[in-house]
Amino acid sequence: MRILVTGGAGFIGSHYVRRLLAGDYPGYPDVAVTVVDKVTHTGNLANLPLDHPRLSFVKADVCDASALYDVVRGHDAVVHLAAEPPAGRTLLGSGEYVISNVLGTRAVLECCLRAGVERVVQVSTGKVYGSIGTGSWTERHALRPSSPYAASKAAGDLLALAYHRSHRLPVSVTRCSNTYGPRQFIGKIIPRFVTDLLDGRLVRLHGDGLHTREWLHVDDHCRGLQLVLDGGRPGQVYHLGGGRELTNRELAGRLVGLCGSSWEQVRFAADREGQDRRHSLDCGKAERELGYLPRIPFDDGLAEVVGWYRDNRGWWAPARETADLTGPGPARRW
Ligand SMILES: NC(=O)c1ccc[n+]([C@@H]2O[C@H](COP(=O)([O-])OP(=O)(O)OC[C@H]3O[C@@H](n4cnc5c(N)ncnc54)[C@H](O)[C@@H]3O)[C@@H](O)[C@H]2O)c1
C-alpha cells in the first residue's frame, strides 16, 4: 500500500504521517508514505521523521501538475491536505488562497484521475458554511463562506465532488472543526496564546471574545481521516467535529490558567474582518457510517498541548524570530 500525503510537513498532515508510519491504523502495517509539500511559512520539515525507511519526501508545489503527476503515479491513495491556511490578513491576500486551495486542488484531482488512484480524500473545513447562530450544520447545508480562505476551500470541495460526478473519481470530502495539538504553526490562536503567555508577553483577544469555536484534537482529526479513507463513500462529505464548544474568551481563560499567567496579560483588540460568530458541525453521519467519535477530552488535550510548547521551545522559538505570523500580505494581493 502506498499513500501520498500532500501538505504532510504541516500540522495535521505530519501528525497523520507519523501515525501511519507508527502502524497506529489497523490494516496498514507496511504502508509506504510519500509526502509532497512546498514547505511554506507554516510547513516544517522538523515535523517529519525524514530518515524513516518507509517515508519519501518530495518538495513540490501541488499547483505544478506535471511534477505532481510524476509523484502521484503508483500510489493507491492520496490524502490532500496541502492548503494555504487562514490568517489574520486573509482579506488582504486572497490570491494565495485561490492559487493553492483551488488551482492546487484541481491539479491534485486531475493527477489522481489520470494516474488511476483508487482512493482520494479532500481535507476541508466547516468554515465553508459560514456562521450558525444555533444548532449544527449537516453535510447538506448550503455553503456560505465568509472569508476568501473559506471560499477557496469551498471551491476545492466542489471541484472534488464534481470530479466524482463527472469522472467517477473515488474522492470523499472531510469538513472538520478547529483543530489543535502539538506542532501547530505559532500564528494560530492556541500556539500563539501559549507561546506569548509562556514568554510573559501580552496577548490580544479580538472583538468581545464571544466568538465560539468547536475544538478537535489533531489525533482525533487524523483518526477520522483514516476512517473516511477506509470506509467513506466516494462522492460523499463527512463532518469530523470535536464536540467541544468554547468562546475565545473561555479558551483564553483556560490557557491563562494552564500557563500559570494572569488576565493582566490579556488585552482586548478590535475585531477582525470575515470572522464567523459560531461554527458547529453535526457529526452524526460519520458516527453512523464510520463509527467516528472524538476521544480526547478537550481539557486533557489542551493541557498536553501547553506542556508540549513548554517543553519544545526549540521547535517554535526560531519560527517566532523569522516567520510572518499573519500569513500572505498585500504583496500577494493581486
Ligand atoms: N488547522 C485546522 O484547524 C483545520 C481545520 C479544518 C481543516 N483544516 C484543513 O487541514 C489541512 C491542513 O491544515 P493544517 O492546519 O495542517 O495547515 P498547515 O498550514 O500546518 O499545513 C499545510 C501544509 O501545506 C503546505 N502547502 C501549502 N501550500 C502548498 C502548495 N501549494 N503545494 C504544496 N504544499 C503546500 C504547507 O507547506 C504546509 O506544510 C488544510 O487543508 C486545512 O484547510 C485545518
Tell which one of 15, 63, 128, 179 to mutate to probe ligand 1, the residue whose CB is within 8 A of the most ligand atoms.
Answer: 179
Q: Does any ligand 1 atom lie closer than 6 A to the CB of residue 61?
A: yes
Which helix (H) or strand (E) segment is 68 a member of? helix 65-72
Q: Does any ligand 1 atom lie closer than 6 A to the CB of residue 81?
A: yes
| Cβ contact 224:243 at 8 Å | no
Question: How much is the pLDDT for 321?
Answer: 77
Which parts of the chain have pLDDT scores under 70? 88-93, 323-334
pTM of the model: 0.96
Q: Does any ligand 1 atom lie closer than 6 A to the CB of residue 216?
A: no
Provide the sign of the torsion angle of the four alpha carbons 225, 227, 229, 234, taken in this order. negative
Domains of the chain are 2-185+217-245+278-299 (3.40.50.720)
Q: Does any ligand 1 atom lie closer than 6 A to the CB of residue 123?
A: yes
Q: Does any ligand 1 atom lie closer than 6 A to the CB of residue 9?
A: yes
Q: Whose CA is nearest to atom 18 of ligand 1?
A: 10
Q: Whose CA is nearest to atom 2 of ligand 1?
A: 179
Q: Whose CA is nearest to atom 28 of ligand 1?
A: 83
Question: How much is the pLDDT for 186?
Answer: 93
Q: Whose CA is nearest to atom 36 of ligand 1?
A: 43
Q: Which residues contact 26 (CB under 8 A, 6 or more apart)?
A: none
| Cβ contact 4:36 at 8 Å | yes
Strand partners, 31: none
Q: Does any ligand 1 atom lie closer than 6 A to the CB of residue 10?
A: yes
Question: How much is the pLDDT for 327?
Answer: 44
| Cβ contact 251:191 at 8 Å | no
3-state helix, strand, coil in the chain (%, to 5): 40, 20, 40
Question: How much is the pLDDT for 91?
Answer: 53
Q: Does any ligand 1 atom lie closer than 6 A to the CB of residue 16?
A: no
Question: How much is the pLDDT for 88?
Answer: 59
Q: Whose CA is nearest to atom 32 of ligand 1?
A: 61
Letter for the amino acid at 175?
A: R
